A and B are shown apart, each in its own frame.
Chain A
Amino acid sequence: MELSSPAVGDPAPALALPLLDGSGSVRLEDLRERALILTFLRHAG
């Protein structure tokens, strides 16, 4: 089943991913208390 993107006011889905440089990872829940722009880039081709 395909999920839909969260709407304004919805809780943000979880996100826990490794950093590009391999130095660690980012978890969305660790970034609470800050406003955040989260940009998913499309496949670079």
Chain B
Amino acid sequence: MERIEAAGGLVVTVVCDEPARVRAGLLRGVEVAHPVVVDIDRSTYRSWGLRRASRTSFVTRPGWIADYALAAVRTADRPRRPGHDVRQLGGDFVIAPSGRVALSRPQAGFDDRPPAGELVQALERAAREGSVL
């Protein structure tokens, strides 16, 4: 985070689940210093071209049986949540001060994420280039 702040940059995280679930699960016990925003109907995910995992990639993911069993137990006595989509993938982007995309990495699969260092380097480069990009 120090390098991001030194470059005058900012991190924004987008989640697509109910705020209470995010706070109780993903962010449980975590102090997040940057903005976290919610796209519950995934309309912004769609407008950024983010994909859904194929059924094949879902069942070949390591640990999928345990995940599936856990999800089944958790949701056994509840109706399916609106907008719920376990196959929704994410992605990482770096946006230059000009408003143009400096790095574009939509996820191709569940574990497809760029290294943090790659994102920080792209942010530093974008910050240096300013509105020239």
The answer on a CB contact under 8 Å between A20 and B36 is yes
Interface size for B (C-beta < 8 A) is: 65
- Chain A nearest Cβ from B104, distance in angstroms: 6
Across the two chains, which residue of chain A brings its CB closest to B124? A35
Verify B95–A3 contact, CB threshold 8 A.
no
Contacts of B67 on A, CB cut-off 8 Å? 45
| Contact surface of A with B, Cβ cutoff 8 Å | 2-15, 17-22, 25-26, 28-29, 31-45
B interface list, Cβ under 8 A from A: 4, 7-17, 19, 21-23, 25-27, 35-39, 44-50, 53, 67, 71, 84-104, 106-107, 110, 119-120, 123-124, 126-127, 133
